[in-house]
Structure 1
Amino acid sequence: MGFLDKIRACNAWNPGDFVPLWLNGTQIGWLHRRARDHLRRWPRQFGVESEAVIWFGAPEGFAARTEVLDTLFAALAEEGVVGPPHGERYPLTAGTRDQVCCLIDRAYAPFLGARAFGQHLNGYVRTPHGTEMWVGRRAADRRHYPLHLDNLVAGGLPYGLSLADNLRKECAEEAGIPSVLADRAVAVGAITYCRAAPEGLKPDVMYCYDLELPEDFEPVCTDGEVESFRRLPLAEVAALVRDTEAFKLNCNLTIIDFLIRHGFIAPDEPDYLEILAGLRAPLP
């Protein structure tokens, strides 16, 4: 295993397994072929072809489109085709968050192969012995990756919240970081990746942040999503990423990015240029 293996794992998908979803001449998603077939049940909404699905029956209004998809996913959830809703609203968009055509529940973005946006924060401390990083262990009841290691703060970016407001919210909920400290977080870029998942396709964008924390800071989870926290030397974190499957899959990417920017992964690292390029994979 190695750093590049983790990047490749986040970008593993076969385009031949998916077909584009179109709305008014714009591609808004990628449907797995089995998801495509489920949409045949709504012939007044979707034109299902062998290599594409066209949402020709979409209402003109934002709220009306949202209602159509809410009804569709409620039916699919009742039958067990998809899981229960998450409860957060995501924009259905072909581009950026402000190019939204309607809203969907976060849980159903992969079914549509829709772009999803999140924020990940690496919290670190400079000590006399070198840089150390705070990592969390996800709670056992998490829907995805229970008991895996995680970034200090990581969460989805719901529609209607600014990046700054959502980061403050996630910092408070996941690690007990007060707003005055959360506001010191430095935006350091974005990571993009696309991978196949059991739920469909995940073409995801993660906005990344660094937050240098006082040495006496102790994170406290207030929303039950994290079981415990540990502060580890950066070399130990790097080894966990490189050599194990301990971290939630996409968290590996944000840590690799941190390791590059802080000089831990240097240009003499094997596959250095491929690692750099892999953190910014083009989204379909």
Structure 2
Amino acid sequence: YIRNSRSIGSSASVLERSRARTRYKGLQGFLTYNTGGVTTGVFFSGSPDLASQVRHRSFVMAAKTANNLVSGFRKCVDLCNDAAGLRGTYIPFEVEGTTVGFILPSFASHLMEHGDVFKATEAGLQLSSDLATPEARTEAVANVLAGLRDCGLVPGWRDELFPVATSFSAEPALLIERAAASLFGIKAYGVHINGWVRRQDGSRAMWVARRSRTKQTWPGMLDHIVAGGQPHGISPTENVVKECGEEAGVPPALAAAARPAGAVSYECVNTDGGLKRDVMFVYDLELPEGFAPEPQDGEVEEFFLWPVERVMQVVAEGGHYKPNCAIVIIDFLMRHGYVAPEEEGYLELLAGLRQGECS
């Protein structure tokens, strides 16, 4: 059993790629294994059932490691869903009698200064019924937002339009500037790409980006190889190819190999106090071992390749990754078997990845 001790601890999926070695003399030995760059060991001796003793102690240690990781992952999920129970803080934003967003009363007060565009109601705020078409609404709201931007009330202007709709497949009631999406509490969408590599030894690694330290949001934090908001007028898959080229220099033919892998959703309070109601379309992109992404548009400072086990540890520690990137990575880890159903909190973690309205 000792000579084939690579199987020790294999029931804990977070250690699937660990390498166990033993050094023994008589009935003594020392088992070591490594996961995520952390080496752990257990001394054993004196038992006639040596294999049983080693297996039990390594399983205990593996379980503790798994529980710590899952606990860390749960904290990441909770951070992205910190608006739970706060919906009442915001007032509904309606277009033609349909609620399409939620706005802080303080921001709504600035909008109501433009009475030809926004009207107060008993329930909240609505667009004027005089604005009868999506085009008219888009133009009128854009003019208001431009003025508020000049007053410093809409920071981070992007010159990118997001649709305002009740679901991804619904026709938009209007388009608004991306920087105002959370201020209006609309449903917003994006694409996140897990760029990973299958190494010659069978292990897996993931490309990590460090955001530019001059970015207005989450400067210097870790990120996906590619991620971006979902603008109006193109499909998510088309957006993946576009963003891959613009952010990481991934050729279109290679980017087109990205495979859709579902979505995650969350509802949190944005840094501007607005309500982020986001759905992120998730893609997995297996990249050749010889390919290296390169920063293109100034949004990324550097790229580096980490073993998946190290990515796991860093995500679980918290505070390193941009929050929504962390939960997309957790989704990748669960789908690829790095977190197993036997681990405590598995189902709660799985459900937490889609706490937001996923529609």
Q: Same fold (TM over 0.5)?
A: yes
- CA deviation string 1:12-43 (max 9, x = no partner): 11112111111112111110121122222022
Conservation of the 8 A alpha-carbon contact between 1:168 and 1:183: yes
2:282 to 205, 208, 217: 208
- CA deviation string 1:36-59 (max 9, x = no partner): 222220223323246411223451
- CA deviation string 1:83-137 (max 9, x = no partner): 1521111111121154211111111101100111110000111121611100100
Q: Where does structure 1 differ by over 3 angstroms across 4 or more consecutive aligned residues?
A: none
What residue in structure 2 maps to residue 6 of structure 1? Answer: 76
1:218 to 292, 295, 314: 292
Matches within 5 A, 1:257-272: 257-272=331-346
* Residue ranges of structure 2 left out of the alignment (5+ in a row): 1-70
2:250 to 174, 177, 180: 177
TM-score (norm 1): 0.95
Conservation of the 8 A alpha-carbon contact between 2:211 and 2:221: yes
Structure 2: distance between partners of 1:51 and 1:35? 16
TM-score (norm 2): 0.76
The higher-RCO structure (CA 8 Å, 6+ apart) is 1
What residue in structure 2 maps to residue 197 of structure 1? Answer: 270
2:158 to 75, 86, 96: 86
- CA deviation string 1:134-164 (max 9, x = no partner): 0100011111111100011101111111222
What residue in structure 2 maps to residue 139 of structure 1? Answer: 212
| Letter of the structure 1 residue corresponding to residue 312 of structure 2 | A
What residue in structure 1 maps to residue 193 of structure 2? Answer: 121
What residue in structure 2 maps to residue 44 of structure 1? Answer: 116
Conservation of the 8 A alpha-carbon contact between 1:176 and 1:222: yes
Deviates more, 1:242-251 or 1:90-99: 90-99
Is the partner of 1:100 in helix, strand or coil? Answer: coil
Structure 1: distance between partners of 2:169 and 2:183? 18
Conservation of the 8 A alpha-carbon contact between 2:191 and 2:230: yes
| Letter of the structure 2 residue corresponding to residue 186 of structure 1 | R
1:234 to 305, 308, 315: 308
Identity across matched positions, percent: 39
Conservation of the 8 A alpha-carbon contact between 1:44 and 1:57: no
| Letter of the structure 2 residue corresponding to residue 252 of structure 1 | A
Conservation of the 8 A alpha-carbon contact between 1:39 and 1:48: no
Structure 2: distance between partners of 1:166 and 1:159? 10
Conservation of the 8 A alpha-carbon contact between 2:95 and 2:173: no
| 1:31 partnered with 2:103 | yes
What residue in structure 1 maps to residue 88 of structure 2? Answer: 16
Conservation of the 8 A alpha-carbon contact between 2:278 and 2:356: no
Structure 2: distance between partners of 1:61 and 1:24? 10
| 1:67 partnered with 2:139 | yes
State the superposition RMSD in angstroms. 1.5
The count of residues paired between Structure 1 and Structure 2 equals: 284
* Residue ranges of structure 1 left out of the alignment (5+ in a row): none
Structure 2: distance between partners of 1:95 and 1:16? 21
1:246 to 311, 316, 320: 320
Conservation of the 8 A alpha-carbon contact between 2:277 and 2:356: no
Structure 2: distance between partners of 1:161 and 1:148? 28
| Letter of the structure 2 residue corresponding to residue 190 of structure 1 | A
What residue in structure 1 maps to residue 148 of structure 2? Answer: 76
| Letter of the structure 2 residue corresponding to residue 169 of structure 1 | K
| 1:163 partnered with 2:163 | no
